[in-house]
Structure 1
Amino acid sequence: MKDVYGEAIFDFYKGDHSVVLTTHNTYGEPEEMPVEVFFRDHQDFTELENLAITSCEGKILDVGAGAGAHALFMQAFEMDVTALENSPGCIETLKHSGMEKMVNQDFYAYESKYDTLLFMMNGLGIAGKLASLPFFFSHCKKLLNSGGQIILDSSDISYLYEEGVAKPNHYFGEIQYQYEYKGKKGEWFDWLYVDSKSLVQETKELDLHTEILMTDEYDQYLARVTGF
């Protein structure tokens, strides 16, 4: 598969700050993703991100670490963190940035044990579909020590359909994206945004507990999932 996303991130890391990463989607016009957001200094972290980091405990797996903004910050403060990525470009960026513990593997193929799984920047999206949440949490359980936790953020994107966009015939938080960089397009992929009420209900049905730690003014929220 083309590593369009990772190539853009590694080029930015190498100094090409003219990088333009375009995201195509199933709800509207293509959008430009500001690649610099993946390289933010901790001073630019939001309140939600800071709370997520301080909520992490024990041995931590940062899933979909990207360029490593969060993982590198935690490492600098001697937290036991491993960055998980399946993008070769991101792995190269992490290596050059000094990330000490990293794994280049697909999340669903990875097996190890941690106390905290961290999914940031709408990282729950990796589940893909609402109906796939049981499978997602089942795999999370395999990666967690007894009493472990998941720290994640997601968003309520129902506002998209209040602006004249036709409502889909499936759960409104199920989106498809495609990256484009330097004229190259990656594969379309599923991404999931879950409103907090739905997440609480879905996890309750799996005998898990979701605590909403905070919600910001953009309908993005931070949650802790326990019961493993």
Structure 2
Amino acid sequence: MALTPSGLAQALSASSTDKRIDILRRIDEAGSISEAARRAGVSYKAAWQALETLSNLAGTPLVEKAVGGGGGGGAVLTASGRRVLAAASRLDQARAEVLAALQAGDADQAAAGLAALALRTSMRNQMPCTVAGVETRLGFGRVALRLPGGEALHAQITLESVELLDLRPGAALLLLCKATAVRVARPGAEASTVNRLMGRAVRVAEDRRMRHELTLALPDGLHWVGFAESEADIKAGDLVEAWVDENALVLARAG
């Protein structure tokens, strides 16, 4: 299957410093997925996840098995894989020039903001954040996040995603969340204190299921969208709380 322009754009949705692109480059250098994983500092499973994701985005295989050789075989890039690498290098150079031209502010946060402008998704909630800490638990990673206004949230992601995103304190990320995953209620309606955002309702609209779609204004001026049951009788200007499960948050990183 040939690599299409749209597939190339999907595969290059982040800069060439993306771990997935880095693994692809190292496979080209080493001729081995396991060696590429070792050099990139990720597990073999994470490397395979990266390749599967990139190939799915591109719509065509980017790596194929190599038969023979001193090691009894390995992996090589397909023509599409080489095209992705070449384009990634050019995009990375252009991105570096843009960031250098900004000359002020935090470069990592600027990169996250630029990526957000280019990102098109159905998720209503999108905002920059930074990693406050990463806790490794059985089977997953729990990432502590800090929003621009200082609010704290936590996200649960796979250990492979922790590796591929190269998460560490201070890293600038994009936080995404579906509005339908956010529950809104009056203060004190929920017992849990995990992933709670306080704000004021600025827009309230009723949908067909008699639920209210609300837009919350957070203290820092940013906005968060969620839904409340109609019985809550929330009006614009009311103080409300928004709740979201840790596994409903999606993290993205530019570079």
Q: Normalising by structure 2, report the TM-score.
A: 0.29
Q: Normalising by structure 1, report the TM-score.
A: 0.31
